[in-house]
Structure 1
Amino acid sequence: MKYTMTDARIALVTGGNRGIGLEVCRQLARQGLHVLLAARNPARGEAVATAIRQEGGQVTVVPLDVQDEATVDALARGTPRVDVLINNAAVLLHEGENALTIPLAAYRESLEVNFLGPLRLCQAFVPGMRERGYGRVVNVSSGAGQLASMGGYAPAYSASKAALNALTRLVAHAGGPRVLVNSVDPGWVRTDMGGRHAPRSVDQGADTVVWLATLPEGGPTGGFYHDHHPVDW
């Protein structure tokens, strides 16, 4: 990894080459953070990073597959620090099936990407945040992961997002009072995953993510938010 260290906060955004993740990268760069745009395919990451740089933003593309512990370890070794972690990368599998017909392999992959991937990254970077006395972690969850309203939609995805919400609570406790850890429901957003008929733009989907990523000292931690407001688990 090659980039010049500055006094800017460093934000790592997984799944940063498209959709909500890319918009989060844009908005954080506009606010002066140095963004590490993580993508499984670095060439695709570079293709979209150019526009952010042309706007004056600092962005470095880093290879990362959240399912691959070796790439997480390599990133942790090669990164001086991460101040802000956005766990955005996710998969949505067997959306139209019910909980009893989805193959176990789909549950495993959903948990690997949507839960264990964020856990790996939290284990890699949150201890350093705690040691330095500053950190922000945002887990991009979903209304589908709310136990309060959960029905039959996308069971593997919903279960993995509920697990991600649980991780938010656990890491908020482990990180201490100066590492603020929260989940966000961005809503149904027009992305490759959400589809073109979704009612919300990527700007709207990214807004609360960026707000939580840049919370001031003493901000909330261990919560679940939609449009800046807390929602039920």
Structure 2
Amino acid sequence: MARIFITGSAGGLGLNAARALLQQGHEVVLHARDESRLASAGAVRDQAVGTVVGDLADLIETEGVAQQAGQFGPFDAVIHNAGVYSGNQIFAVNTVAPYLMTALMARPRRIVYLSSGMHRSGTPDLAGIDWTDAARRPAAYSDSKLYVTALAAAVANRWPDVESNAVDPGWVPTRMGGRSAPDDLELGHATQVWLATRSSADDHVSGGYWFHQQRRESHPAVKNVAFQSELVDALERHTGFALK
């Protein structure tokens, strides 16, 4: 049995992952932006061992989320599922929050970061970036997913005792993906569940970019150690917390 914390797990892929993990007999801690969203998790909330509330677009609230989650730890795995596609908070939610929680929380055995195939269109240029305002960056969503994919690789390099991976769930028909999204919703959460709970007898798997349990090639910048360091340094300066 594993204990797993999932951000953004009151709906969509996060809720589906939580439901699947509970059905497998694991323990799950849920997160939502506010209590009203958490209420929509229904029976899954009732089965969870704990719940955490906080807006990941806000640095102070993100610190609070990390502190709240820590009360239910230690965790075998953390799945950074929360994400937004549009608006000015893209960098804050998609990149800064996963970094800050990774820096603040006790190290789990495994970390899964939600990426996207669109990360390949991202720009590996951090010059002048405003982490609080994606409106100043036209390709903000692609950029944010490139950065969080590179973060997963950076964590894998810096913490060899932790399995850190990025997952492309596909373009699935969730609230964010839209009803016309072409990919399979049931497969959308399967890879992050698998990475979070693989048998300890399996080989150590870290630093990968995955789609439907298959390792795929990522943007070349993801594996660039210099870019990883530049990204981590920029996030440390912005948040005030180092990835030790």
Query: What TM-score results when the alignment is normalised by the length of structure 2?
Result: 0.74
**1:116 has 2:100 as partner:** no
In structure 2, what is the equivalent of residue 139 of structure 1? 113
8 Å contact from structure 1 (residues 19, 202) kept in 2? no
In structure 1, what is the equivalent of residue 155 of structure 2? 171
C-alpha displacement at 1:202, in angstroms?
A: 2.7
| d(CA) in 2 for partners of 1:162, 1:124 | 22
Matches within 5 A, 1:1-233: 8-51=1-44, 53=46, 57-67=47-57, 68-93=61-86, 106=88, 109-125=89-105, 127-129=106-108, 135-146=109-120, 155-177=139-161, 179-217=162-200, 218-233=203-218
| d(CA) in 2 for partners of 1:196, 1:69 | 30
SS at match of 1:119: helix
Gap regions ≥5 residues in structure 2? 125-137, 219-244
C-alpha displacement at 1:147, in angstroms?
A: 5.1
| d(CA) in 2 for partners of 1:164, 1:11 | 20
| d(CA) in 2 for partners of 1:203, 1:162 | 24
| d(CA) in 2 for partners of 1:76, 1:193 | 25
1:137-158: CA deviation from partner (whole Å, max 9, x where unpaired): 110110001259x9xxx71100
| d(CA) in 2 for partners of 1:10, 1:85 | 9
In structure 1, what is the equivalent of residue 128 of structure 2? none
C-alpha displacement at 1:70, in angstroms?
A: 3.6
| % identical aligned pairs | 33
| d(CA) in 2 for partners of 1:13, 1:80 | 12
CA gap of 1:199–1:216, structure 2 versus 1, over 3 A, is same
| d(CA) in 2 for partners of 1:86, 1:213 | 8
| d(CA) in 2 for partners of 1:183, 1:229 | 12
C-alpha displacement at 1:77, in angstroms?
A: 4.8
Query: What TM-score results when the alignment is normalised by the length of structure 1?
Result: 0.78
Runs of 4+ in 1 over 4 A off after TM superposition: none
* Letter of the structure 2 residue corresponding to residue 18 of structure 1: G
SS at match of 1:190: coil
CA gap of 1:136–1:205, structure 2 versus 1, over 3 A, is same
* Letter of the structure 2 residue corresponding to residue 60 of structure 1: G
1:98-122: CA deviation from partner (whole Å, max 9, x where unpaired): xxxxxxxx3xx22111111001111
Over aligned residues, Cα RMSD in angstroms?
Answer: 2.3
| d(CA) in 2 for partners of 1:147, 1:199 | 20
CA gap of 1:121–1:89, structure 2 versus 1, over 3 A, is same
* Letter of the structure 2 residue corresponding to residue 78 of structure 1: Q
Aligned residue pairs: how many?
Answer: 200
| d(CA) in 1 for partners of 2:6, 2:62 | 17
